[in-house]
Structure 1
């Protein structure tokens, strides 16, 4: 019987021949795959180094961060400013502050001016007829005069019975008056006694007889029973007994002779503070009491009398008694409205209510403050439209509408955007095409402290007033940085406080300690990564790494080298107590640091930071770069920076009139090719101006144009020594230029004539005999020169030799640059990390290729051993068949 062999699946388990193909192939592939372990070991090694580079990068970055405070020169001159009463003021100190103690007394805070219009029933109601009206704003200062109210002459009842108590209240405070308050002088004294609480002072005006009182003074004739006497202010001037014919006694001429003095009468009048002007003979005789006391003029007559005051020589005189009174003027100490109340303010010559105005005051525009104009016509002639037009124009004035709840509640309120006495407003209106402004708008908004004041002032523009150690100081702002050098004061309220300014050495100490700690942390981290342990016979992951070795070497070399270019006694770290230890770390001797700070506090700055100094006060060090080399450089200026300008061809006349609708097209700091943003239409307000006023109005008008201010472009206008008008760009250099062309109204040629603009020039010169790059007032050392990147600003002086500019690079500055060279895009650590990453990628690629090769080998092995298995299986079958046949043959024998 034939036997059919059974074969197993090739490659799975044992073969048909009984051969274990999988086991054989597994063993063979294990041997073939042995190199994969080498790839994995290499990858792990490089990944460990990459991780170490990350750790090293972090340590270097932390160290670099510790250098920032030491790189800032201001920290080495830092001082603290501490007020005893922080409610009165706050204070901060800068690098230039000097230690000391100061007593500060604040008497007034800066504020802006606020003006308010009369009330309207509806904020959307039209105002006027809608004719085109230009509203021009100016900001400036007020001089002379007072802000207050003028009273009327006290009445006859007051002169007789006085002013009863409670009759007058000023700003909420009752003024104590009684039956003795009969004159303007007595009333003024009563008001001034309360001025500390009311903020109001009173001035009694002189009491005078009228200029015509003695017109027609007739010669005095007394009958047989008649007598006559004339007294002024209680001083008997002349007397006449009975029986004197006309022209035989008192006449206008004899009265004048008596009053001329010197005599007992003239002396008595002077003692009574009564002055005499004019002549009775020509009817101009006038008596005046300067202090505002009442002035009594009395004729005492007995019997038959003719002539005298107001009587012809033949007219009967029955006698007369006149008490003359005066008025008071009220002045507000802070120029705010005065509120008058009480049971009978009329007795004091005053009217109940609130108000005030400037009297005998002059306005001078501040041309440095940008202002401008707005146009009101039929499209916006409402209270709301005016408000929006002003706010949209950016004039240095803000507008709002408030409601007071009355039948005409809506008021337009205007406020100057800045505080300070030089921010008072002047508002003028002009019409178009030669026509006057809309009368309703003019009545609502026209305001001039020296003239018509149709707006009501609620608060005056005023400065901060205070004293420092008894020295009076004024400032336009409540933030003051000019009173004490290097100290900024934030004035908060009226009051007194002391201020202590002390050196802030703690910042320097903290920064130096942080620097030492950060370096030691970096040193420790690097030591672990690069060290070899002889006991374990293992090395750090970066042992022998050239990058780590180079970083260690460069850092230690930098810290060990002295600083050059310094003009001070300090040049090494050891002089401030910092030194190396055997393990490469730094140690800080605090006592030595304290001594260095005490003796050379300002010099420590140069030891750590980049420091530049110029011997010329008009030259200032600005900045440097890593390429700037320490040293002292001779500075020579060949061209001073200048501004683009235009100067009038002729001297301006005493007055110049600008017509209505005047606009000029002004191009400022234009580029090549020209840019539209550099040209704008400028409105010059209509009016008649002196040369100084003309310069101010042009400067403020140009600087008030938003298109220019958005570009940071401004101008200055002035009258030079010859009387010519100069308009100049505030910028310096070749980019500084200005041009003016006609628009409408008064042409610019009416002021400047045929004058041609002049472009500005950049500063030029050399540093250390090497070329520089000039831009405006700034000079920068050219690339490749020792002063490469050294930037200075030349703000004044002349051409020629300008002394030296010295520059040094302190430890913190140099180490910061060094750290950047380690960590930057092309830095050592960055490049090393990139290299490690590339190596890891390369090993991964090699491993993948080898893995692919192993797959091919395994496939080949399987094919070979599968064929071997089949062959063995067949041989086994043949063997079995032969064995059976041979056995059968043997059996048959």
Structure 2
């Protein structure tokens, strides 16, 4: 690149000249940049307008529908105690509440079940217990090398994964050398913890968590059910994930049945039971029921009908969930506390020779064990021979062996020997230990063993909450109850049967007024901003950024017109905001007379609601208004023609004789694809068949006895309630196939008009189709015949404002967005013009630089030539002078 210094040859500051020439040429760009700045300011101002419009839309949207006015507030007082209401119950009231007064007593709170193990001497020593336990459908596998601490860790690990067990295991240190493990349900309620032995070992009794009694876990009338399984055809042990599935003989109604859970499925077990002649003769049968769980997944249950007599020595029925063990208090006998020779309490690891008083061990020393078992049957005498290495643990093992492992023997924290009775009921347990010590200076006396309640297996019983409301008692599994008083959630925190709480649920008029105040405040803020934008200084030189903007004037005119307009079609004299205490002053600002507005809310509530919200009505009780949207444009009177009434899918059988002659399997499939499979057994009458279908049904499909024939129907109207029947017995007179309901069909028109507008039916509802004035209007027809009915649709002030604001703020088609897009487009076009002009200006500057540089170079050359010529002339002149 050539380098030159401005004016070196010419003496001209042509660099400054070029700068000034370029600046003159740049004035159009500056003007465009100034225009662009103004456009950007206008775009920013419209963003502020849009923010205020959106905020106002949120406010008016909170009162645009009938439900928005359903605000309620609870007020409560208490009697029969000096404590406060909040000590017993807290309230939350929703929009679906109704006004009313209720007398409430909290009888008891829901509790989480808590179980406790027996005492162990260590948390780290191997327990020698092995097998599987099911806790809330999760499998706990215990190895012989596991300690109490290991089992606690394994139980807590069951709370992770797709199906958490929902229990917490913790270890309590009663004293040095005495530990118990507790298992607590995370959920409250009487169902508590579902825990069962799932292998041949009686682990629950070995851990001291349960006694030996068995009762029905899931009783039904005249029978029992299993827990729910994910499959009826998979092997039970595999489905549960057992490491050592139980097998052997169970006794049902006196008949022995061989079941192997490592090889049998639910269907196999049901088949074995139904194939047993003794059980058939006794009227005992088994069937498989299908239903869906809370996640919509199909689950299957084994049901045994005709008996509730079961014997389960191998834990097979426990694993299936038919039976459960008990949690009775533990009875036992306790001796005197013993110390070692150094004064510390003895433990399981204490050598017998270290017990205080046993000064000299002699070979042949013995302890005689004798007493009575749970039923009062004599035990022993049995001699335990003491060696030099015998510990208290050895003696405890000998005691358990002598009593046939029906007891649990341990040393408590005080050093006393304790023997627990593992069986429930009244205990006759007794124990006497007599020692035969050779050395005259020695004795070994464990004292007299007294029978008492040693501990509780069930520390806290799982319990439902119980409340009495207006003399009616309700029980729920949690302390949060939301399905008793409509729209009111009761949070129970304390109980006292002598305390009576009076709850009054009233309309929250102040809450409604606050919503109206929000609308007024938002409207006033917007109008003040618009007025400020249209204000000019006295000399007219300074104006608002959006001064004289026609779109902004349109916003003001539209919203002001709605606020001042009369709502037509109301059966009321309250047709304007000004008639309920909302007035407008000369500056265009709204204000509220609080006393007047609250007065109308209290005395004319529904009329105030109608003034604000969208609503519909008909002289027919069969036609009701459900909903409308901002796209529902025209209000007024309509004709609604019902061309098809909604029906429910159903089928009625015929020809059933009254008794099913053979087994059958019925499968019902909902329109969503969810299935329920029901096993029907030979010999069942219509009542048994109906009960089997309805048991655990979550599809909304129900069975009824219709004159001795089977009727199946869906509670849902229309195509959503379609279902399929397959596999049903021909005896019931119902063919396999699809059964469908009809959706309602109809159309609507403005009264007096000839053109009808289309509507789409879904169940009993009809919705106005897109692209019409009734777009988004939803109505419901519950009649049973086709008809033409009247319908009136009214849009209140808030709903009209909501619709107008939607038109203004819609991010795609709203005219605020259109305005901003237009301004942005202008800004971008100017950017393009400026870019082109900058390119041309740069070229102009480069051209000037080149020209002046060339001139400077030429002048430099000429000046050089001039200097040379002057030098030559001077030389010649000098030469001539000398000559």
TM-score past 0.5 threshold: yes
Q: How many residues align?
A: 592
Whether the 8 Å CA contact 2:580–2:600 is kept in 1: the answer is yes
Whether the 8 Å CA contact 1:648–1:752 is kept in 2: the answer is yes
CA apart distance, 1:543: 0.8
Is 1:695 the equivalent of 2:687?
no
CA apart distance, 1:859: 2.2
Find the counterpart in structure 2 of residue 58 from structure 1.
51
Find the counterpart in structure 1 of residue 805 from structure 2.
819
Map of 1:287-436 to 2, 5 A cutoff?
A: 363=221, 377=236, 379=238, 428-429=303-304
Map of 1:734-745 to 2, 5 A cutoff?
A: 734-742=719-727
CA apart distance, 1:791: 0.7
From 8, 12, 26, the counterpart of 2:5: 12
From 627, 634, 637, the counterpart of 2:642: 637
Paired with 1:439 and 1:619, the residues of 2 have a C-alpha distance of 64
Distance 1:617 1:112, change over 3 A: farther
CA apart distance, 1:848: 1.7
Map of 1:27-42 to 2, 5 A cutoff?
A: 27-42=20-35
Distance 1:427 1:868, change over 3 A: closer
Partner-residue secondary structure (3-state), 1:812 = helix
Partner-residue secondary structure (3-state), 2:221 = strand
CA apart distance, 1:857: 1.5
Find the counterpart in structure 1 of residue 409 from structure 2.
none
Whether the 8 Å CA contact 1:64–1:816 is kept in 2: the answer is yes
CA apart distance, 1:785: 4.8
Paired with 1:690 and 1:86, the residues of 2 have a C-alpha distance of 54
Paired with 1:95 and 1:125, the residues of 2 have a C-alpha distance of 46
Map of 1:546-585 to 2, 5 A cutoff?
A: 546-585=550-589
CA apart distance, 1:86: 3.8
Deviations 1:124-149 (A, max 9, x none): 399xxxxxxxxxxxxxxxxxxxxxxx
Find the counterpart in structure 2 of residue 25 from structure 1.
18
From 594, 598, 601, the counterpart of 1:594: 598
Map of 1:620-769 to 2, 5 A cutoff?
A: 620-628=624-632, 629-651=634-656, 653=658, 655-656=659-660, 659=663, 663-669=665-671, 678=673, 680=675, 682-684=677-679, 686=681, 688-700=683-695, 703=697, 713-720=699-706, 722-742=707-727, 747-754=728-735, 758-768=739-749
Paired with 1:793 and 1:506, the residues of 2 have a C-alpha distance of 32
Deviations 1:465-498 (A, max 9, x none): 6241xx5355677766676565455566453211
Paired with 1:494 and 1:871, the residues of 2 have a C-alpha distance of 113
Whether the 8 Å CA contact 1:49–1:542 is kept in 2: the answer is yes
Paired with 2:627 and 2:76, the residues of 1 have a C-alpha distance of 34
CA apart distance, 1:686: 4.7
Deviations 1:569-616 (A, max 9, x none): 322111222222222222222232122222212222222222234444
Deviations 1:502-547 (A, max 9, x none): 2211111111111111111111222222321224631111112222
From 132, 137, 156, the counterpart of 1:124: 132
Paired with 2:301 and 2:40, the residues of 1 have a C-alpha distance of 76
Map of 1:204-353 to 2, 5 A cutoff?
A: none
Deviations 1:223-261 (A, max 9, x none): xxxxxxxxxxxxxxxxxxxxxxxxxxxxxxxxxxxxxxx
Map of 1:497-536 to 2, 5 A cutoff?
A: 497-535=501-539
CA apart distance, 1:789: 2.0
Which structure ranks higher in relative contact order (CA pairs < 8 Å, sequence separation ≥ 6)?
A: 1
Paired with 1:475 and 1:581, the residues of 2 have a C-alpha distance of 57
Deviations 1:426-476 (A, max 9, x none): 974489xxxx9999667658999xxxx8876998998956241xx535567
Paired with 1:79 and 1:366, the residues of 2 have a C-alpha distance of 46
Distance 1:714 1:113, change over 3 A: farther
From 813, 838, 848, the counterpart of 1:851: 838
Whether the 8 Å CA contact 2:651–2:734 is kept in 1: the answer is no
Map of 1:732-881 to 2, 5 A cutoff?
A: 732-742=717-727, 747-754=728-735, 758-768=739-749, 770-783=757-770, 785-794=772-781, 796-801=782-787, 803-824=789-810, 825-873=812-860, 876=863
Point out where structure 2 has 5 or more consecutive residues left out of the alignment: 78-84, 117-127, 135-189, 193-210, 247-260, 267-290, 295-299, 329-460, 750-755
Paired with 1:874 and 1:365, the residues of 2 have a C-alpha distance of 123
CA apart distance, 1:687: 7.1
Find the counterpart in structure 2 of residue 198 from structure 1.
none
Find the counterpart in structure 1 of residue 468 from structure 2.
466
Distance 1:610 1:877, change over 3 A: same
From 66, 69, 77, the counterpart of 2:62: 69
Whether the 8 Å CA contact 1:641–1:763 is kept in 2: the answer is yes
Distance 1:623 1:111, change over 3 A: farther
Partner-residue secondary structure (3-state), 1:538 = coil
Whether the 8 Å CA contact 1:564–1:808 is kept in 2: the answer is yes
Find the counterpart in structure 2 of residue 271 from structure 1.
none
Q: Which sits farther off after the overlay, 537-546 or 872-881?
A: 872-881
Distance 1:823 1:377, change over 3 A: closer
Q: TM-score w.r.t. structure 2 length?
A: 0.57
Whether the 8 Å CA contact 1:609–1:811 is kept in 2: the answer is yes
Distance 1:637 1:522, change over 3 A: same
Is the radius of gyration larger for structure 1 or structure 2? 1
Whether the 8 Å CA contact 1:649–1:753 is kept in 2: the answer is yes
Distance 1:125 1:622, change over 3 A: closer
Paired with 2:651 and 2:72, the residues of 1 have a C-alpha distance of 46
What is the alpha-carbon root mean square deviation over aligned residues?
Answer: 4.9
Find the counterpart in structure 2 of residue 292 from structure 1.
none
Map of 1:103-252 to 2, 5 A cutoff?
A: 103-106=103-106, 123-124=131-132
Partner-residue secondary structure (3-state), 2:704 = strand
Distance 1:741 1:647, change over 3 A: same
Is 1:607 the equivalent of 2:631?
no
Paired with 1:862 and 1:799, the residues of 2 have a C-alpha distance of 93
Map of 1:439-458 to 2, 5 A cutoff?
A: 444=318
Whether the 8 Å CA contact 1:642–1:760 is kept in 2: the answer is yes
CA apart distance, 1:42: 1.2
Whether the 8 Å CA contact 1:646–1:756 is kept in 2: the answer is no
CA apart distance, 1:829: 1.5
Paired with 2:773 and 2:737, the residues of 1 have a C-alpha distance of 42
Distance 1:649 1:417, change over 3 A: closer
Distance 1:564 1:541, change over 3 A: same
Point out where structure 1 has 5 or more consecutive residues left out of the alignment: 1-8, 127-333, 337-352, 394-415, 420-424, 671-677, 705-712
Whether the 8 Å CA contact 2:97–2:486 is kept in 1: the answer is yes
CA apart distance, 1:842: 1.5
Paired with 1:461 and 1:883, the residues of 2 have a C-alpha distance of 125
Distance 1:814 1:592, change over 3 A: same
Whether the 8 Å CA contact 1:616–1:802 is kept in 2: the answer is no
CA apart distance, 1:844: 1.8
Paired with 1:784 and 1:539, the residues of 2 have a C-alpha distance of 42
Paired with 1:125 and 1:354, the residues of 2 have a C-alpha distance of 15
Distance 1:456 1:749, change over 3 A: farther
Deviations 1:832-853 (A, max 9, x none): 1112122112112211211211
Whether the 8 Å CA contact 1:529–1:540 is kept in 2: the answer is yes
Whether the 8 Å CA contact 2:630–2:806 is kept in 1: the answer is no
Distance 1:821 1:123, change over 3 A: same
